[in-house]
Amino acid sequence: MDELITIASDGLTASINPLGAELWSLTDAQGRELMTDANPRWWTGHAPLLFPFVGRSRGDSYRHGGRDYPMPQHGFARRMAFAQVEHLPESVTFRLEADAETRAVYPFDFRLDMQFAVAGGTLMMTATVMNRGEADMPFSFGYHPAFAWPLPYGGAADAHVVEFGKAEAAPIRKVGDEPGLIAREKVPSPVEGNVLTPSHAMFEGDALIWDELASHSLLWGVPGQTRLKIDFPDTPWLGLWQKPGAHYLCVEPWAGMADLVGFVGDVWEKQGIMRLLPGDERRFRMDVTVVE
């Protein structure tokens, strides 16, 4: 494991692994851990970054310009070493740039900067995707942090709820009969008004996926106790996931998602794919705040 890079404010301490620029730990002013315990019985991940694609491509490959390219689930960024370009007491920025290895599977001249900053009780994460090439660049991006379930503020695990910023009545998507791919048929929303009461059984069929999301903010925890407020203003979709029985809930803001079951099209036809023009950039923010 690479040495973790730590930043701190008077309210939070965050530790990040340069491998994948992955948030490994987030503790409050009393040192209480707000992230997953990474128990290998379930999942050793912490908060991988999903780039250049979110989710699984059918056959673990995608088509561009008449050619098929291999692509692992959630892309390659989470398995690559990021360079540290700036480190201050309360912020750090990591960078991943295209090289011969990435161009072999993703023939685009990208730069991905990932900044982490803490101020008081808030962690601010900002990903900046840049197209440094001469061709339009297809991509998607997502966050995948695993927060403690239960949180260390009292209350049983089954008393924890996801409280969305708005009512979420629209039907949701789930994983279909091709592993990791999204079913074409939607299912009724499990949200009552704006509140979801998750259970381990709810994730036996993999993630819950909102692609008609009204909210860009939610609260995680036990009402009446200290909770986490999670803001994601730049990502239109959301996944919630865990391995049933694990001590975490992944809250995953996405701009993009896995292929639909049976998808056979070009990369530009993938749902959620964004087009980044040469010289342009796009930012994706996610904030996590401890609220009383």
Q: What is the pLDDT along the chain (292 residues), one digit of tens a residue?
A: 579 999 999 999 999 999 999 999 999 999 999 999 999 999 999 999 999 999 999 999 999 999 999 999 999 999 999 999 999 999 999 999 999 999 999 999 999 999 999 999 999 999 999 999 999 999 999 999 999 999 999 889 999 999 999 999 999 999 999 999 999 999 999 999 999 999 999 999 999 999 999 999 999 999 999 999 999 999 999 999 999 999 999 999 999 999 999 999 999 999 999 999 999 999 999 999 999 8
Q: Which fold has domain 5-291?
A: Beta-galactosidase; Chain A, domain 5 (2.70.98)
Q: Is 69 exposed, middle or buried (0-12, 13-18, 19+ CB in 10 A)?
A: middle
Q: Which residues of 24-40 are buried (b: 16+ CB within 10 A; e: fewer)?
A: bbbbbeeeeebbbebee
Torsion angles phi and psi, residue 102, rounded to 5: -70, -35
Percentage of residues in the chain having pLDDT higher than 70: 99
Partnered with residue 227 across adjacent β-strands are 291
* Reported pTM: 0.97
- 174 vs 186: CA distance, rounded Å: 7
CA distance 189 to 210: 9
For residues 164 and 112, what is the distance between their CA atoms, to the nearest angstrom? 29
CB 214 within 8 A of CB 204: no
Burial string for 144-169 (b: 16+ CB within 10 Å, else e) reads: bbbbbbbbebebeeeebbbbbbeebe
Burial class (CB in 10 A: 0-12, 13-18, 19+), 99: exposed
The residue length of the chain stands at 292
Angle, alpha carbons 286-290-292 (nearest 5°): 140
CA 2 vs CA 45, 80, 92, 184: distances in Å: 14, 11, 15, 40
Tokens for 139?
């991509």
Query: Which DSSP letter does residue 182 get?
Result: B
Instruction: Specify the pLDDT at position 1.
Output: 59
69: β partners: 62
Kindly state the tokens that stand for 145: 């942090």
Q: CA 18, CA 80: separation in Å to the nearest integer?
A: 8
Cα atoms in the Cβ-side hemisphere of radius 13 Å centred on 62: 28
Residues 6+ apart with CB under 8 A from 20: 48, 49, 77, 78, 79, 80, 82
Give dist(CA 47, CA 68) in Å, integer: 29
Nearest one of 117, 115, 2, 98 to 52, comparing CA atoms: 98
